[in-house]
């Protein structure tokens, strides 16, 4: 990203040229990839022209002024349709910007458009989008992952240099892994959720996606920091892109949890991750086998909490305040008909499950129990970070699966096996590409860091990235 910033600064390239190039690439690849729900050609070009004018006056808003981005379509953009990939909101245009959108605008980033996702961010493949599936740029018969599949595919297909996604149980890291890009789920509370359509407010975080570790770090530096409109972001420190220093890995204690390298893990995924671990060891890191035994409860706990919170958050979509309304003779029928017509099957499934786990007769057995187990998971993770500085695992058990391959919701939920623990415990976690399987599909490596240790995980990721690039060059 520094290269692009330099080209803009010296005038070798203009923001208008960058935006045009992205729009051309979108036109060429969108019919197959379907990464975007809305492309804002006019808006992006207008913002680029303003950026160029600012630069000409020597008034660039930031070094990144003029570098365009794509934004997941569950993040509110003033005057730009925000659908959450739902029929319910297909014509909904927010009256205000989410804080993260305000911040990228303050840095001068033109917005190319809004990217595809599973409806209301519920899913792992964008197959649950009401706007069609997003295809993986590495193999268009396969999914791009989800729920931020559009944001990942747009970056991988060079439709945008970077993008914003959201991550509640893995929705930035899993598609980043499937599409071979870098994605960060920040520490809970480090980025404002104001204006982000909630899936599960106690787990949701917005994060950056980019083709390089540095790109992700720069975009993160633009959105991190406290916001008085989101109480959970109080005390969130801003973030500065670090000076890259490979020496950070010397003596670094890297936890390798055995539970993340067991049954169900594709051997080629394991091999690629282990190769990177070995590189870190060669550079002075100390690999420590650890146990995160509570990970076996992560999916159940996550699903209980996510459905409970979603059923409550989605109550606001009633045909009165937002989105589409189906007219009926009385208001209760109108609510029911609007919700019946507006929501897709996965959303309905989760609302029903969530209502069940919160019901008076089952609350203690499910919701309360899940909260208790969440505490155990947090304690388990905290204990691990007493012994190690970072934890490294595969991001997902497999590389990108085929469109239509996962037939039951349960199979789909298992995609979050390695990612949900970071959301439940609130820590930060990043995925970056660490190699390819024999089909040429990217493999993702996950680096987890304790609360607010984003700088450290970026540093470690940077070392892994360099070694992977060196390795690739050697192969050529
Ligand atoms: N795949 C997870 C789910 O279906 C994650 C969703 C997310 O992180 N938004 O809930």
| β 111-115/69-72 pair status | parallel
Ligand 1 contact via 168 beta carbon (within 6 Å): yes
The 10s digit of each residue's pLDDT in 233-259 is 877 789 999 999 999 999 999 999 999
Task: Give the residue from 80, 81, 82, 53 showing the smallest Cα distance to 65.
Answer: 53
Residue nearest to atom 5 of ligand 1 (CA): 169
Domains and CATH numbers, the chain: 1-292+378-476 (3.90.1300.10), 300-364 (no CATH)
160 CB-near residues (< 8 Å, 6+ apart): 22, 68, 69, 70, 112, 154
Ligand 1 contact via 310 beta carbon (within 6 Å): no
CA of 326 to the centre of ligand 1 (A): 28
User: Catalytic residue at 147?
Assistant: yes
Lookup: tokens for 4: 């692009």
Rounded Cα–Cα distance for residues 209 and 244 (Å) = 19
Rounded Cα–Cα distance for residues 291 and 367 (Å) = 26
From 14, 15, 51, 72, the catalytic residue: 72
User: Catalytic residue at 171?
Assistant: yes
Q: Which of 117, 150, 151, 168 to mutate to test the pocket of ligand 1 (most atoms within 8 A of CB)?
A: 168
Residue 277, Ramachandran bin (φ over 0: left; ψ between -120 and 50: alpha; else beta): alpha
Rounded Cα–Cα distance for residues 332 and 423 (Å) = 36
Which atom in ligand 1 lies closest to the alpha carbon of residue 148? 9
Which atom in ligand 1 lies closest to the alpha carbon of residue 121? 9
Lookup: tokens for 124: 């792992």
Cα-Cα-Cα-Cα dihedral sign, residues 47, 53, 55, 61: negative
For the beta carbon of residue 261, count every other beta carbon within 10 angstroms.
Answer: 16
CA of 74 to the centre of ligand 1 (A): 13
Task: Say how far residue 332 (Cα) sits from the centre of its chain.
Answer: 36
Ligand 1 contact via 354 beta carbon (within 6 Å): no
pLDDT-derived band at 472, boundaries 50, 70, 90 = low
Q: Are 248 and 286 in contact (CB under 8 A)?
A: no
Ligand 1 contact via 123 beta carbon (within 6 Å): yes
pLDDT > 90 fraction of the chain, expressed in percent and rounded: 94
Given this model, what pLDDT does residue 362 score? 93
The 10s digit of each residue's pLDDT in 367-421 is 999 999 999 999 999 999 999 999 999 999 999 999 999 989 988 998 999 999 9
The 10s digit of each residue's pLDDT in 169-218 is 999 999 999 999 999 999 999 999 999 999 999 999 999 999 999 999 99
Mean pLDDT of 313-334: 92
The 10s digit of each residue's pLDDT in 135-160 is 999 999 999 999 999 999 999 999 99
| β 253-257/286-290 pair status | parallel
Given this model, what pLDDT does residue 476 score? 44
Mean pLDDT of 288-313: 97
From 14, 129, 171, 425, the catalytic residue: 171
Examine the pLDDT at 296 and tell me if it is beyond 60: yes
User: Catalytic residue at 276?
Assistant: no
pLDDT-derived band at 283, boundaries 50, 70, 90 = very high
Lookup: tokens for 138: 């590495």
| Overall pTM > 0.85 | yes
CA of 301 to the centre of ligand 1 (A): 13
Mean pLDDT score across all residues of the chain: 96
Mean pLDDT of 81-109: 97
Given this model, what pLDDT does residue 470 score? 79
Rounded Cα–Cα distance for residues 285 and 253 (Å) = 6
Q: CB-side exposure of 441: number of CA atoms within 13 Å?
A: 22
Ligand 1 contact via 121 beta carbon (within 6 Å): yes
Rounded Cα–Cα distance for residues 377 and 400 (Å) = 28
Residue nearest to atom 4 of ligand 1 (CA): 123
| β 390-394/253-257 pair status | parallel
Ligand 1 contact via 416 beta carbon (within 6 Å): yes
Task: Give the residue from 193, 217, 197, 216 showing the smallest Cα distance to 205.
Answer: 193
Mean pLDDT of 451-476: 86
From 147, 221, 276, 431, the catalytic residue: 147
Rounded Cα–Cα distance for residues 5 and 28 (Å) = 25
Ligand 1 contact via 280 beta carbon (within 6 Å): no
Ligand 1 contact via 167 beta carbon (within 6 Å): yes
Examine the pLDDT at 6 and tell me if it is beyond 80: yes
Q: Which of 170, 174, 344, 419 to mutate to test the pocket of ligand 1 (most atoms within 8 A of CB)?
A: 170
The 10s digit of each residue's pLDDT in 418-442 is 999 999 999 999 999 999 999 999 9
Ligand 1 contact via 165 beta carbon (within 6 Å): no
Ligand 1 contact via 199 beta carbon (within 6 Å): yes
Cα-Cα-Cα-Cα dihedral sign, residues 59, 61, 64, 69: negative
Examine the pLDDT at 475 and tell me if it is beyond 70: no
Phi then psi dihedrals of residue 79, to 5 deg: 75, 0
Rounded Cα–Cα distance for residues 384 and 465 (Å) = 25
If you count them, how many residues does the chain have?
A: 476
């Amino acid at each position: 990203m520094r290269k692009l910033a330099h080209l803009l600064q010296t005038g070798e390239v203009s923001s208008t040229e960058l935006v045009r190039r992205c729009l051309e690439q979108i036109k060429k690849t969108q019919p197959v990839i379907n990464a975007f729900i809305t492309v804002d050609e006019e808006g992006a070009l207008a913002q680029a022209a303003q950026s160029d004018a600012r630069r000409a006056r020597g008034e660039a808003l930031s070094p990144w002024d003029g570098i365009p981005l794509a934004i997941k379509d569950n993040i509110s953009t003033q005057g730009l349709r925000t659908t959450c990939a739902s029929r319910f909101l297909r014509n909904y245009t927010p009256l205000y910007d989410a804080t993260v959108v305000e911040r990228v605008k303050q840095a001068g980033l033109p917005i190319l458009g809004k990217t595809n996702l599973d409806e209301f961010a519920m899913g792992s493949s964008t197959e649950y989008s009401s706007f069609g599936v997003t295809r993986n740029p590495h193999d268009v018969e396969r999914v791009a992952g989800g729920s931020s599949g559009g944001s990942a595919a747009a970056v991988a297909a060079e439709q945008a240099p970077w993008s914003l996604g959201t991550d509640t149980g893995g929705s930035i890291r899993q598609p980043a892994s499937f599409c071979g890009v870098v994605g960060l789920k920040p520490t809970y509370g480090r980025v404002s959720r104001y204006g982000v359509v909630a899936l599960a407010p106690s787990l949701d975080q917005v994060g950056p996606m980019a083709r390089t570790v540095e790109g992700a770090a720069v975009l993160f530096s633009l959105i991190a920091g406290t916001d008085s409109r989101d109480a959970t972001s109080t005390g969130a420190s801003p973030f500065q892109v670090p000076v890259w220093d490979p020496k950070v890995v010397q003596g670094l204690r890297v936890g390798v949890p055995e539970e993340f390298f067991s049954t169900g893990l594709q051997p080629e995924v394991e091999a690629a991750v282990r190769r990177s671990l070995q590189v870190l060891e060669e550079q002075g890191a100390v690999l420590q086998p650890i146990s995160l035994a509570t990970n076996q409860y992560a999916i159940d706990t996550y699903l209980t909490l996510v459905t409970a919170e979603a059923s409550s958050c989605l109550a606001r979509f009633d045909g009165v305040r937002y989105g589409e309304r189906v007219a009926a003779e009385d208001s209760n029928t109108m609510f029911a008909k609007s919700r019946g017509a507006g929501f897709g099957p996965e959303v309905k499934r989760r609302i029903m499950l969530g209502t069940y786990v919160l019901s008076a007769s089952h609350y203690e057995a499910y919701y309360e129990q899940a909260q208790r187990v969440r505490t155990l998971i947090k304690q388990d993770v905290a204990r691990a970070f007493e012994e190690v500085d970072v934890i490294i695992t595969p991001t997902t058990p497999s590389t990108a699966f085929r469109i239509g391959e996962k037939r039951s919701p349960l199979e789909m939920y298992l995609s979050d096996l390695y990612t949900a623990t970071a959301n439940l415990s609130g820590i930060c976690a990043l995925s970056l590409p660490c190699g390819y399987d024999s089909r040429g599909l990217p493999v993702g490596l996950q680096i987890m860091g304790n609360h607010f240790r984003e700088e450290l995980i970026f540093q470690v990721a940077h070392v892994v990235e360099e070694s992977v690039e060196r390795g690739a060059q050697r192969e050529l």
